[in-house]
Homo-oligomer: A and B are copies of this chain.
Amino acid sequence: MKDQPLAVVLLSGGMDSCVAAALTRSTHRLAFLHASYGQRTESRELKAFHDIADFYHVQHRLAITLGHLSAIGGSSLTDSSMPVPDADFGSRGIPTSYVPFRNANFLSAAVSWGEVLGASAICVGAVEEDSSGYPDCRAEFFDAFNHVIRTGTKSSGPQVVTPVAGMSKAEIVLRGRALGAPLQVTWSCYRRDDVACGTCDSCARRLRGFQLAGFDDPIPYVHKPVFAAQ
């Protein structure tokens, strides 16, 4: 174990990054990084972060605050005057939940920490195919960021890996269950921090994933809409 390389996992507290961590721990020692940025559910996400870290006995954990992202605004996740819309799977636009250039802020902090720790990887739970069209969740963004790391760090720096990027939400559920990942302590809802709403974009995609995988989502919901198989 001690000879394994180290990965800094960007762990939001949601299902995707939890399963990304579950996949990465077979090859890497883990350090967990969480970022609060004034999002509506930040305290609930932070609890999920620590619950997942406790489950995996991860000692190296760093919870940071990027308060400027809420000061800057421009997103329904950080601006309480903008409503969080219901999911619209047919939409091809970028939803209001997009937080401008958020992932670059997260990755930069992770690389700073990873460079000091001597990490070889920055693990991110981004999902491309099943995502909401956020520009900073695409493979070309992560590829470009890896080039920035190579040019901007002391040695060659860690590299970003996205182990669940190519999976659908249903595959993530199946893989997570197969690995015994603690999905019951994760939190994905954009709107609420007590009982998940079930209808925001993040809840709906998660619930649809569980339904397509043929399993019940273990966390409590206000509503559990039924999604037709695609």
Interface residues of A (CB under 8 A from B): 62, 64-69, 71-74, 94, 98-105, 107-109, 111-113, 115-116, 135-136, 138, 140-141, 144-145, 147-154, 157
Contact = CB atoms under 8 A, between A and B. Distances in A.
A152 B116 contact: no
B62 A71 contact: yes
A150 B105 CA distance: 15
Number of identical monomers bound together in the oligomeric complex: 2
Contacts of A135: 151-154
A136 B152 contact: yes
Given A68-B113, A111-B104, A116-B72, A98 B154 contact: yes
Task: Rank and list the top 10 A-B pairs by shortest CB-CB distance, nearest first.
Answer: A64-B68, A74-B116, A136-B152, A104-B108, A100-B115, A105-B108, A141-B152, A101-B112, A141-B151, A144-B148
Contact of A152 (B73, B101, B151): B101
Given A62-B68, A68-B64, A144-B147, A153 B101 contact: yes
Nearest to A33: B68
Given A105-B105, A116-B72, A144 B136 contact: no
Given A101-B111, A135-B153, 11 more contacts: A64-B71, A72-B116, A74-B112, A94-B154, A98-B154, A100-B116, A101-B152, A104-B107, A135-B152, A144-B148, A147-B147
